[in-house]
Amino acid sequence: MRPSKATYHHGDLRAACVSAAMELLEESGESALSLRAVARRAGVSPAAPYRHYADREALVSAVAALGYRELAERLVAAHPSPSTPEQLTSVAVAYVQFALERPALFRIMFGEPCDRDNDERIAATAAVTLYLREIVGRAFPEADTEAMATATWALVHGLAFLHLDGKLAAPTPSAVAERVTAAIQVLLRTMGPPGLEPGTYRL
Amino acid sequence: MRPSKATYHHGDLRAACVSAAMELLEESGESALSLRAVARRAGVSPAAPYRHYADREALVSAVAALGYRELAERLVAAHPSPSTPEQLTSVAVAYVQFALERPALFRIMFGEPCDRDNDERIAATAAVTLYLREIVGRAFPEADTEAMATATWALVHGLAFLHLDGKLAAPTPSAVAERVTAAIQVLLRTMGPPGLEPGTYRL
DNA sequence: CTAGAATGTTTACGGTGCTCACATTAGCCC
DNA sequence: GGGCTAATGTGAGCACCGTAAACATTCTAG
């Protein structure tokens, strides 16, 4: 069903809006993400998106929700089912890399006062949380999963943001990966089951 | 010298702008922080602030810089010269509390693509960095200060942001403090006292 | 005292989010 | 099919925003 251009109705403006918004975001940053620009790119009048999104915030939330899903994909791509500290570490590195490769999107997802009532957004972030807790629990069945997942997420999230803001000098992506790896391993070593040697966790 | 209201010249509009901006930020959030609103609150025409700030971004940077100084004050108030892990922990808790008490300011400081060329901002964040490195170095003289400071900052920063975004349920401030304390102590325990696997602390 | 530098005002332009009345169309029931 | 209703897109318009340029006022140095 190819989109017929010349019709009054768009067909799937709802989806087209988040696509256009995502493109604008990646091309020109958050400041370029205006409802009017989205409408222009979707080839539609400035008021049309309001039929599908209550306001700008709602559209941004939809983009953020898509971002959460793409982040999740990226994490499972790093390792489909991590069950060792090393595998968990590679997932952590992927998290930070995602933030650095798509800074505007990442800021939309985490750096903004978010709409707590957006169902799509709630569901998407809950999925990330659960996934994280699951893999941490699998990697360290005997540890306090809740505490460990929280600490791990916070560490990685903080590294991502500090890098994003240029608070941590990190010339190359591999340097970033090294730093994340080292930090995560230190954290994991403590909280993991006793008796494991440092060498065990090397990547 | 009380401000004479009826004069053509304001007296110290530069400072008045950042005061007004800070007030607006705390009262009504980031969205209310417009140059025009700042001008109104300062009792001045919309274009007046441009005599002191190149653009909105410059004013925001000035507010952020003030935020960094206030954060630093808050940290030294938590402990003037921390030299033990416990004292360092109390500083960490203060960091997160600052973020939760002044969310809009904190987001201005860290959650935005920042003007990397703003001298005031650079200096203020450098001060925070140095302070952090100093107290970490004092608390753990034998550890890799650089690595430890980075990991600690990232952990705390991540906890702050995740709480801010409601990604971590935390009903009361004391619950937040507990969580931060637990996470930090786990991290510090590994990297702290000598006698653990040497050479494994490096980031 | 006076000239020029600083500082504040006015006006104006284009962009933005958002609303409302209106136009067009799709889908459903007969 | 034919027509009715709800869904969807349009257009004009409001209030606000950031910013620039020309102008007015005041401070200050010589």
pLDDT tens, position by position, for chain B (203 residues)? 333 346 867 778 999 999 999 999 999 999 999 999 999 999 999 999 999 999 999 999 999 999 999 999 999 999 988 988 889 999 999 999 999 999 999 999 998 877 777 888 888 888 888 888 888 888 878 777 887 888 889 999 999 999 998 888 788 999 999 999 988 877 776 655 544 443 343 34
What are the contacts of B195-200 at 24+ separation with CB within 8 A? Answer: B197/A197, B197/A198, B200/A186, B200/A189, B200/A198
> Residue B44 CA to D22 C1' — how many Å?
18
Among A89-93, A113-117, B26-30, the range scoring the smallest mean pLDDT is A113-117
Instruction: For B194, list phi and psi in degrees, rounded to 5.
Output: -70, 165
**Could you tell me the end-to-end alpha-carbon distance of chain B, in angstroms, rounded to an integer?**
54
User: What is the model's pLDDT at position A85?
Assistant: 84
Check pLDDT > 80 for residue A8. no
Tokens representing A134 are: 């699951």
Distance CA B183, CA A150 (A): 8
Handedness of CA A68, A74, A77, A79 (dihedral sign): negative
pLDDT tens-place string over residues A151-167 = 889 999 999 999 998 88
Query: What distance in Å separates residue B113's CA from the closest CA in chain A?
Result: 7
Distance CA A86, CA A23 (A): 34
Higher-confidence position of A179 and A36: A36
Q: At A57, is the pLDDT very low, low, confident or very high (cuts 50, 70, 90)?
A: very high
The closest of A24, A25, A13, A173 to A112, measured between CA atoms, is A25
Handedness of CA B21, B25, B28, B31 (dihedral sign): positive
The closest of A157, A160, A59 to A101, measured between CA atoms, is A160
- Name the range with the highest mean pLDDT among A30-44, A100-114, A119-133: A30-44
- Which amino acid makes up residue A186? V
> B114 and A166: CB-CB below 8 Å?
yes
> Residue A37 CA to D6 C1' — how many Å?
28
Query: What distance in Å separates residue A5's CA from the closest CA in chain B?
Result: 37
Chain A residues whose CB is inside 8 A of the B183 CB are 147, 150-151, 154
pLDDT tens-place string over residues A17-46 = 999 999 999 999 999 999 999 999 999 999
Indicate yes or no: strand C within 7 A of the C-beta of A48: no
User: What is the model's pLDDT at position A71?
Assistant: 95
C-beta of residue B30 within 8 angstroms of C-beta of residue B108: yes
B187: Cβ contacts below 8 Å, ≥ 6 apart: A151, A155, A186, A187, A190, B151, B152, B155
Among A45-49, A175-179, B124-128, the range scoring the smallest mean pLDDT is B124-128
Distance CA B18, CA B33 (A): 11
Average pLDDT over residues A61-89: 92
Higher-confidence position of A136 and B176: B176
For the whole model, what pTM was predicted? 0.89
The conformation of residue A12, written as its DSSP 8-state character, comes to: -
Distance CA B44, CA B39 (A): 5
| Residue at shortest CA–C1' distance from C11 | B47
State the Cα torsion B5-B24-B52-B39 to the nearest 10°.
Answer: -50
Interface list for chain A against chain B, based on CB atoms closer than 8 Å: 29-30, 103-104, 107, 110-114, 116, 125, 129, 147, 150-151, 153-162, 165-168, 178-179, 182-183, 186-187, 189-191, 197-198
A153: nearest CA partner in chain B: B158
